Amino acid sequence: MLDITRFDQIYIYRPFADFRKGINGLCGIIQDEMNLNPFKKYLFIFCSRTRDKVKMIYWDDTGFVLWHKRLEVEKYLWPTTWENDSIKVDVNKIQAFLQGLDPWREPHKNLDYSSI
């Protein structure tokens, strides 16, 4: 499994990506659409339209690494409600996402009552 704790930042490209794209095509999205530098110590995550595949790409100081995973039965719970195409996320949310949990839902609101 990929150690996602070693990256300075983790970004999700929220629109579904064309999974025919390889490293060069995904780096084009990172530079042109996300306005980010693919050579930083960042992890970039893309999802297929069918939500059963993810691709992760990062620079490891000697070249790009492309990590691809396909789920056989389930679907990834991909975020849909953000205004931007690029979402910066923390390690805990990505770990939950890769385990099949829904980290995009807001937690229960804290209630502050003073009487019944």
**65, 59, 53: which is closest to 20 by C-alpha?**
53
How many domains does one find in the chain? 1
Confidence of residue 1 (pLDDT cuts 50, 70, 90): low
**19, 85, 11: which is closest to 52 by C-alpha?**
19
Burial class (CB in 10 A: 0-12, 13-18, 19+), 74: exposed
Report pTM: 0.82
Answer with the residue of higher pLDDT: 92 or 102.
Answer: 92
In this prediction, residue 107 carries a pLDDT of 63
In a domain, 106, yes or no: no
In this prediction, residue 48 carries a pLDDT of 93
pLDDT, tens only, 30-73: 999 999 999 999 999 999 999 889 999 999 999 999 999 888 88
Q: What is the DSSP letter of 4?
A: G
Quick check: 54 and 68 in contact, CB under 8 A? yes
In this prediction, residue 38 carries a pLDDT of 97
In a domain, 111, yes or no: no
In a domain, 86, yes or no: yes
In a domain, 45, yes or no: yes
In this prediction, residue 82 carries a pLDDT of 65
Which residue segment(s) compose the domain that 17 sits in? 4-98
- Who contacts 7 (Cβ-Cβ below 8 Å, separation ≥6)? 41, 42, 43, 58
